[in-house]
Amino acid sequence: AQSVTQLDSQVPVFEEAPVELRCNYSSSVSVYLFWYVQYPNQGLQLLLKYLSGSTLVKGINGFEAEFNKSQTSFHLRKPSVHISDTAEYFCAVSEAMGGGADGLTFGKGTHLIIQP
Amino acid sequence: KAGVTQTPRYLIKTRGQQVTLSCSPISGHRSVSWYQQTPGQGLQFLFEYFSETQRNKGNFPGRFSGRQFSNSRSEMNVSTLELGDSALYLCASSPGTVSYEQYFGPGTRLTVT
């Protein structure tokens, strides 16, 4: 079984400042990693994913994340945030050999608050 | 392509009743997964279907069930509703035989009174 820990439940950041949302995972097997964003009253939108290859992954809306296997982390970063980035961000893992049938395991989420 | 659609978007039910939620995946997607989202427990996996077969189920009581039709549309059913079943129920679809890359619908907000 896997677990995901998002270390901050809430992150306030000033507009145009950089931000890092932290995610650590625990698993006895290889995993795939994902970041999703949820805007109020909406479903989840995939920001980026790591399946294999380069450990630095670029996603939509200027976000990127780096997979660190030794530290079992997959932190999300953006160099300059905008008001429109205010949302809930979820880190998720899936067992690499499971075909995805066992679903995604999500962290509790981080609420990113952009201050003008 | 149209995204994942879920109906209804909002639902109010009374304890003891049953409810059926519907999900239409993205055209061509054959895998459908369901999740429950609550403030206390967060996002939890309910079950996953591929080609009308349930491939896996999360840790939920038997009151929660689902099915998938030949056109990949899926329904989930909750019987004997409890107050704790109040949640946002999210459906996600995936292309191909693996379900890693999941595309979520807007969800159905269920309130049990």
pLDDT in tens, A9-45: 999 999 999 999 999 999 988 889 999 999 988 899 9
CA–CA separation, B109 and B113 (whole Å): 13
Contacts of B2 (CB under 8 A, 6+ apart): B26, B27
Sorting pLDDT into bands at 50, 70 and 90, what band is B70? Answer: very high
Contacts of A114 (CB under 8 A, 6+ apart): A13, A14, A15, A81, A82, A83, A85, A86
- Letter string b/e over residues A81-109, b meaning 16 or more CB atoms within 10 A of that residue's CB: beeebbbbbbbbbbbbebbbbbbbbbbbb
CB of B55 closer than 8 Å to CB of A95: no
Statement: residue A100 has pLDDT above 70: no
Statement: residue A101 has pLDDT above 80: no
Q: Inter-chain contact B56–A105, Cβ cutoff 8 Å?
A: no
A91-113 average pLDDT score: 85
B55-77 average pLDDT score: 95
pLDDT in the model for residue A39: 93
Query: A111: how many CB neighbours lie within 10 A of its CB?
Result: 15
B31-60 confidence digits (pLDDT tens): 999 999 999 999 999 999 999 999 889 999
Statement: residue B88 has pLDDT above 80: yes
Residue pairs between chains A and B whose CB atoms are closer than 8 Å? 67
pLDDT in the model for residue B101: 80
Taking Cα atoms as reference points, which of A109, A111, A106 lies closest to residue A31?
A: A106
B15-35 confidence digits (pLDDT tens): 999 999 999 999 999 999 999
pLDDT in the model for residue B2: 83
DSSP letter assigned to residue A60: G
pLDDT in the model for residue B97: 67
Q: Looking at the partner chain, which of B48, B100, B106 has a beta carbon nearest the beta carbon of A43?
A: B106
Q: Inter-chain contact A46–B103, Cβ cutoff 8 Å?
A: yes
Show which residues on chain B lie within 8 Å of chain A, measured between beta carbons: 4, 31, 33, 35, 42-48, 50, 55-56, 58, 90, 92, 94, 97-107
pLDDT in the model for residue B99: 61
B52-77 average pLDDT score: 95
A47-99 confidence digits (pLDDT tens): 999 988 899 999 999 999 999 999 999 999 999 999 999 999 999 998 877 66
